[in-house]
């Protein structure tokens, strides 16, 4: 992966928590990326797996199921080209909403995403972890990203396609020792991507996110997905820290 990404650090800082990006590749195809990190041992004991048209963030080994840590992170439809990426239970509802809008030929505006994120609310944990989500709405490369913090209404943004650029949000601002919720007023995060494959995208996001906490790597997994240029089919790669 020469020429890009080799000396770049994560635009969300040392500890972005969960992080997503949506944009366009250098060959003008819709793309999304998702990063999962964790400071605690249970948060790191996860991996991403593909089940049909879903990417499940699930436990490894004998770790018990936890609804805040284990969820559908990506869901896509190869008939419409719609894809959703998020950090929790909201994934399914967002996907079905925008698929319905597609089939009823209704405008896939950002207010639907805001309402769904408001309904999901921030996670009920000690950090009030925000809910984040992104949508590729189908048809063209139209896309949205949004965030719901515990202290403000949900905010969503309509993205303008820019070749080789993905824009996104994180759950946290990047402070490893004292995580605080990402501030949507500070502007969306920008990920420059000069590659053309899902493997390059997943590995690029994983590689630029190297951080240790109390002597252990915080990275769990990354997902890279790119839609075919002449259709609606999604291809994806998952880069897992844990292979077992």
- CA torsion 174→180→181→184, rounded to 10°? -60
- Model pLDDT for residues 208-220, shown as the tens digit of each residue: 999 999 999 999 9
pLDDT given at position 120: 97
Q: Evaluate whether residue 47 is within a structural domain.
A: yes
Q: Evaluate whether residue 6 is within a structural domain.
A: no
Distances in Å between the Cα of 164 and the Cα atoms of 27, 32, 34, 74, 191 are 8, 12, 16, 21, 8
Q: Evaluate whether residue 190 is within a structural domain.
A: yes
Distance of CA 188 to the CA centre of its chain: 13
- Model pLDDT for residues 8-31, shown as the tens digit of each residue: 799 999 999 999 999 999 999 999
Q: Evaluate whether residue 2 is within a structural domain.
A: no
- Model pLDDT for residues 105-141, shown as the tens digit of each residue: 999 999 999 999 999 999 999 999 999 999 999 867 7
In this prediction the pTM is: 0.95
Q: Evaluate whether residue 132 is within a structural domain.
A: yes
pLDDT given at position 2: 36
Q: Evaluate whether residue 59 is within a structural domain.
A: yes
- Model pLDDT for residues 66-108, shown as the tens digit of each residue: 989 999 999 999 999 999 999 999 999 999 999 999 999 999 9
Count: domains in the chain: 1
Q: Evaluate whether residue 11 is within a structural domain.
A: no
CATH number at residue 189: 3.60.20.20
Q: Evaluate whether residue 7 is within a structural domain.
A: no
Residue 3 pLDDT greater than 50, yes or no:
no
Range of the domain at 30: 18-240
Helices 110-120 + 90-103 axis angle, to 10: 150
- Alpha-carbon distance 61 to 44, whole Å? 12
Residue 244: pLDDT band with limits 50, 70, 90: low
């Amino acid at each position: 992966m020469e020429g890009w990404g080799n000396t770049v650090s994560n635009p969300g800082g040392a500890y972005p928590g969960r992080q997503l990006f949506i944009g366009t590749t250098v060959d003008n195809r819709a793309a999304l990326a998702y990063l999962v990190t964790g400071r605690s041992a249970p948060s790191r004991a996860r991996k991403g797996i593909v089940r049909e048209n879903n990417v499940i963030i699930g436990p490894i080994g004998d770790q018990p199921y936890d609804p805040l840590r284990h969820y559908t992170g990506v869901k896509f439809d190869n008939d419409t080209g719609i894809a959703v990426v998020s950090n929790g239970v909201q994934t399914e509802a967002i996907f079905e909403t925008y698929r319905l809008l597609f089939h009823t030929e209704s405008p896939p505006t950002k207010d639907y995403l805001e309402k769904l994120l408001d309904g999901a609310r921030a996670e009920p944990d000690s950090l009030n972890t925000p809910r984040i989500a992104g949508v590729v709405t189908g048809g063209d490369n139209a896309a949205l990203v949004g965030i719901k913090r515990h202290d403000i209404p949900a905010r969503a943004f309509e993205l303008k396609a820019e070749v080789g650029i993905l824009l996104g949000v994180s759950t946290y601002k990047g402070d490893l020792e004292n995580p605080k919720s990402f501030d949507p007023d500070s502007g969306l995060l920008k990920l420059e991507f000069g590659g053309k494959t899902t493997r390059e995208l997943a590995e690029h996001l994983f590689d630029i996110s190297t951080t240790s906490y109390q002597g252990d790597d915080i990275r769990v997994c990354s997902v890279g997905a790119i839609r075919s240029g002449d259709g609606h089919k999604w291809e994806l790669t998952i880069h897992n820290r844990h292979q077992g």
